[in-house]
């Protein structure tokens, strides 16, 4: 199994407070991703990183920011949490983009359940 | 428009029977990959199987096979000889493009319940 952890695993916070979720990997994988999972929506990409200090927006990036200062860590920050950000957050990693037709499995972390009251 | 469509919110199957979970996709990119993930009640995402758009044969992994029909843009997952432990949510996902960013787009999932 890929070495990927998320912290905290559970968090309850209040509307308007800042929240930071951490994803840590020991696999030296280049790509890292943050998804959120909500009923009826499956998993949706928030932000991703393709290297240290290289990040880009995903499908549902509003209200979120990310940082990656080291290969192993990818942080997701909610600057001012809202109730609509109550969700389960998954981090994922993969090795690299490959040539045409190749693939790289994305390994997922255990998830963080965030509740914003 | 939905890129990945899973039309079956829930499926039931009897133990030891085969079951097919449907997935259709939409892309204009000739290079893409299709994935299936399993999410048991414990919450983790488990990779099951992959099919590349240029692969000539359908992918198989143990009891899992992917029925890839390119012209119909479908990538159905077939689970043979179902087991009680197969009860879970199943997600179809697609990666578009040449893989430089490896982003996945997920469907909304199908909940499979296996009964004795």
DSSP B86: G
B32-90 confidence digits (pLDDT tens): 889 999 999 999 999 999 998 988 899 999 999 999 999 999 999 999 999 999 999 99
Report residue B87 as tokens: 């009860």
CB of A43 within 8 Å of a chain B CB? The answer is yes
Q: What percent of chain A has pLDDT over 90?
A: 74
Q: Choosing among A106, A109, A112, A113, which should be mutated to test the B contact, i.e. which has the most B CBs within 10 A? A: A106
DSSP for chain A?
A: ---EEEE-SEEEE-TT--EEEEEEESS--SEEEEEEEETTTEEEEEEEEEETTEEEE-TT-TTEEEEEEETTEEEEEESS--GGG-EEEEEEEES---STT---PPEE---EEEEE-
Quick check: A102 pLDDT over 50? no
Please give the pLDDT value at position A39. Answer: 86
B90-102 confidence digits (pLDDT tens): 999 998 865 556 6
Report residue B76 as tokens: 């159905």
Cβ-Cβ contacts under 8 Å, A103 against chain B: 33, 35, 50, 52, 95, 99
CB of B52 within 8 Å of a chain A CB? The answer is yes
How far off is chain B from A14, nearest CA to CA, in Å? 24
Please give the pLDDT value at position A101. Answer: 39
- As to burial, measured by CB atoms within 10 angstroms (0-12 exposed, 13-18 middle, 19+ buried), residue A44 is middle
């Amino acid at each position: 199994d890929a070495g990927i952890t998320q912290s905290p695993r559970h968090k309850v916070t209040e509307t308007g407070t800042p929240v930071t979720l951490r994803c840590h990997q020991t696999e030296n994988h280049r790509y890292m991703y943050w998804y959120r999972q909500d009923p009826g929506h499956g998993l949706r990409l928030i932000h991703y990183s393709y290297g240290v200090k290289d990040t880009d927006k995903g499908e549902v990036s509003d209200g979120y920011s990310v940082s990656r200062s080291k290969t192993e860590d990818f942080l997701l920050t909610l600057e001012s949490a809202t109730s609509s950000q109550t969700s389960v957050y998954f981090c994922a990693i993969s090795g690299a983009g490959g040539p045409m037709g190749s693939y790289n499995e994305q390994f997922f972390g255990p998830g963080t359940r965030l509740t914003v009251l | 428009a939905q890129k990945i469509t899973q039309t079956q919110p829930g499926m039931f199957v009897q133990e030891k029977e085969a079951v097919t979970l449907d997935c259709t996709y939409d892309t204009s990119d000739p290079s893409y990959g299709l994935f299936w993930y399993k999410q048991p009640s414990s919450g983790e995402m488990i990779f099951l199987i992959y099919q590349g758009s240029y692969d000539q044969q359908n992918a198989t992994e143990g009891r899992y096979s992917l029925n890839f029909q390119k012209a119909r843009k479908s990538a159905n997952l077939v689970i043979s000889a179902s087991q009680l432990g197969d009860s879970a949510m199943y997600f179809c996902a697609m990666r578009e493009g040449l893989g430089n960013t490896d982003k996945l787009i997920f469907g909304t999932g199908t909940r499979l319940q296996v009964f004795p």
